Homo-oligomer: A and B are copies of this chain.
Amino acid sequence: MNVEVVAVGTELLLGQIVDTNSSWIGEQLALVGLDSFFQTKVGDNLDRLVDTLRRALDRSDAVIVCGGLGPTQDDLTREALGVLVEEPLDEDDTMVERIIEMFGSRGRRMPMNNLNQARKPASAEFIPVMPGTAPGLVLPTQHGVVYAVPGVPWEMKEMLTGFVLGDLSRRSGDPAAIASRTLRTWGESESGLSEMLAPRMAELDEVGNPTLAFLASGFEGLKVRITAKAADAAAATEIVDEEADHLRALLGPLVFGRDGDNMESAVLAALEARGHTLAVAESLTGGLLGSRLASVPGASAVFRGGVIAYHPEVKQQLLGVPDGPVVTEEAALAMARGARSSLGADVGLATTGVAGPEELEGQRAGTVCLAAVWPGGEASTTLGLPGGRQQIREFSCISVLDLLRRRMLVDDDAEA
């Protein structure tokens, strides 16, 4: 079954907001074995929205429309569904009561235009899951089913997982199951990985199953995705698991994790297994490393916190870094040692360097010094990173974690 995603909103086309919804929906569809071949963004314009829905129903079995269900005049998804099935919009009394009651129970004043959200074409049903004040709609048509869900991410996600995905699976009844695994790597380029795996890819090409794909994902590492199709989920999973083992052996320590792992979660898990705690000292990353670590569920078992030493004086006062240049490996090591001791952690990590665009201490943008200090060892490195300010920071975060992983954790494992 092939499900198309349509994201509605002029603000999406104008780049005022990034459409993360259809990416998330695409991922959920893949996980339940449904294909998504096209995802389209269209503005708050009735004709173009209707046209987009018609084209989508033409080439796909089902459509998920995301956004345009709000209370204001530029929210046109309800109208578009009405045009699609040539039905007027009627206000649903039960929904009117529900919306009024919902605002009442939260003690919030209800703007009258919220009642627009109780309108729908007669052949549409409200989606039974309604986490916010915007009801979703499911509309069966001659050419396939359309689901309309809000653009607010958490409302959309609750409706998808609570209703839409299950409803789609029930309608699809496709016996073929898809499974996919992703290996996450750091340390080689996309074409470098591709060359390392070329013989294996040639073998797989002959059989056609599983397939491999590469994906450079910045911060998230360079991913190798394995996808297999089989008669049932267990068989598909067995194929991708076997292939994952095979590729892990070919790629060695380049692989830091799989599927939902990222470098932060991989390093935190390895430290937790050793009973170690972690502290950070951040200059050019300004808190980004800490924020990424704190995003990992359960981080508090390992991550104690850190010092954001944006101003050089803070490096000296809170971290005991000696006076002198701060874009050096010596300064990074002193910062990492300072974080470790002042936060009482077993392991310290530090980033310092030039995010740009201007030079600092005669060093060009992208020059970063990273350090890791752990019980019984320490390591530091200087990198010349490409890209703009944000990318330099992101690469600094993943690189300092990888420094610790390669030097402390992998070596530990090798000795074990």
Contacts and interface: CB of A to CB of B under 8 A. Distances in A.
A305 B304 contact: no
A289 B22 CA distance: 27
A142 interface: no
A300 B310 contact: yes
A289 B113 CA distance: 35
A94 interface: no
Nearest to A51: B59
Given A286-B294, A288-B287, A291-B285, A23 B30 contact: no
Interface string A380-398: 0000001111110100000
Given A13-B36, A182-B16, A192-B111, A389 B295 contact: yes
Contacts of A189: 111
Most buried by B among A17, A217, A389: A17
Interface stretch (A42-50, A165-173, A367-375, A404-412): A42-50
Given A37-B45, A225-B16, A306 B287 contact: yes
A263 B194 CA distance: 43
A11 B295 contact: no
Range for the number of chain A residues in contact with chain B: 35 or more
A364 interface: no
Contacts of A234: none
Contacts of A290: 282, 286-287, 290-291, 308, 310
Interface in A182-226: 182, 189-192, 194-195, 201, 213-217, 220, 223, 225
Contact of A44 (B36, B195, B213): B213
Interface in A339-365: 342-344
A398 to B, nearest CB: 14
A274 interface: no
Interface stretch (A70-78, A121-129, A239-247): A70-78
Given A10-B213, A13-B36, A26-B13, A308 B310 contact: no
Contact of A310 (B30, B299, B387, B389): B299
A154 B391 contact: yes
Contacts of A282: 287, 290
Interface in A98-122: 109, 111-114
28 contacts: A12-B26, A13-B26, A13-B39, A14-B26, A15-B23, A15-B26, A17-B23, A17-B217, A17-B220, A18-B18, A19-B19, A37-B42, A40-B40, A72-B214, A113-B195, A154-B388, A154-B391, A285-B294, A287-B288, A287-B289, A288-B291, A294-B308, A300-B310, A303-B311, A304-B313, A305-B311, A306-B307, A311-B343
Interface of A: 9-20, 22-28, 30, 36-45, 48, 52, 55, 70-74, 109, 111-114, 152-154, 180, 182, 189-192, 194-195, 201, 213-217, 220, 223, 225, 280, 282, 284-295, 297, 299-300, 303-311, 313-314, 317-318, 342-344, 386-391, 393
